[in-house]
Amino acid sequence: MQQRRIGTLEVSVVGLGCNNFGRRLDAASTAHVVHAALDSGVCFFDTADLYGDGASEEYLGRALRGRRADAVIATKFGHQRSTFGKGARPEHIRTALEGSLKRLGTDYVDLYQVHQPDPDTPIADTLAALDDTVRAGKVREVGCSNFSVVQLREAEAAAGPHAAHFASVQNEYSLFERAPEQGVLAECKRAGLAFLPYFPLASGLLTGKYRQHQPIPSGRLSGPGGYDRLLTDENLATVERLIEFAEGKGHSLLELAISWLLAHDVVASVIAGATRPEQVRANANAAGWQLSRAELTEVDAILK
């Protein structure tokens, strides 16, 4: 599989989002998905201490036992709903990292990310503490998630000239959620940041599983959590148009969803979740469509 860079890291262009581990998947099922990912060329795994109250990290660590060198592990800290503490205070960063390392069963994390902005902690203090983790050899690169252009620029200004600075930003981005196009993608290009889209399949809407005028199958969109807000008549009609476009080019909707994101050169890896080995294999195989400029224009017209 093709690889792109996050700072000094080389990652597969399709990554595996691990938010289902410890929540929808037990340890054994997690191992099946992780091993299928590795065997499909997926080496980038994105988790967080929030996911499954730490079980996602624990199950991922178990699944990678003996294959740690084959994986690039990204995890996150500081979400306001995390049972391990919220915020990006220096003292919290130290304890949160030690907890993640223990659960993951490793002595370093490849990419350590602030899960969301902390308005109560100066970003300079956060970056100084993250720099300490890099100097200690416990973290290779640092990143952020859910940051705006203003917050990214504040972080850039606060980072010391020879200190760790954000190498990536992870925000929601898909054919149905295009907010990053309102500045964040351009800022990534200007500042040399890698962009990591989460929910690239719009919680399943872009897999082809949900079709207009057909019964709604079980899945995230039909379960708790409020994701069913995406199942509007307008969205389902758009899905039909996207399927028609993709199939007319000899591809699937899944291929369109992932390859369209990778057509943006600032995107380093598309973080797609999976609950079964066949899903992760399908995601891995969906990255090969090199959309032309004319095809990208056609997609824009459909979405408008």
Query: Alpha helix (H) ranges present in 105-232?
Result: 123-135, 149-158, 184-191
Contacts of 283 (CB under 8 A, 6+ apart): 14, 16, 42, 254, 258, 270, 272, 274
Query: What CATH topology corresponds to 3-208+263-289?
Result: TIM Barrel (3.20.20)
Over residues 48-71, the pLDDT tens digits come to 999 999 999 999 999 999 999 999
User: Is position 59 annotated as part of the catalytic site?
Assistant: no
**Tell me, what's the pLDDT at 304?**
87
**Tell me, what's the pLDDT at 223?**
58
**DSSP for 24-62?**
TB-HHHHHHHHHHHHHTT--EEE--TTGGGGHHHHHHHH
**Tell me, what's the pLDDT at 225?**
58
| CA distance to 168, 234, 254, per residue, from 115 (Å) | 12, 32, 27
**Tell me, what's the pLDDT at 227?**
55
**Tell me, what's the pLDDT at 89?**
97
**Tell me, what's the pLDDT at 65?**
97
* The pairing of beta strand 166-172 with beta strand 72-77: unpaired
Q: What whole-number distance in Å separates Cα of residue 198 and Cα of residue 268?
A: 12
**Tell me, what's the pLDDT at 221?**
63
**Tell me, what's the pLDDT at 233?**
87
**Tell me, what's the pLDDT at 232?**
87
Is 171:145 a contact under the CB 8 Å cutoff?
yes
**Tell me, what's the pLDDT at 220?**
59
Is 229:235 a contact under the CB 8 Å cutoff?
no
The total of other beta-carbon atoms located within 10 Å of residue 296's CB is 13
Residue in 51, 59, 173, 198 annotated catalytic = 51
> Which tokens hold the place of 256?
């369109």
- Residues of the chain where predicted confidence (pLDDT) is lower than 50: none
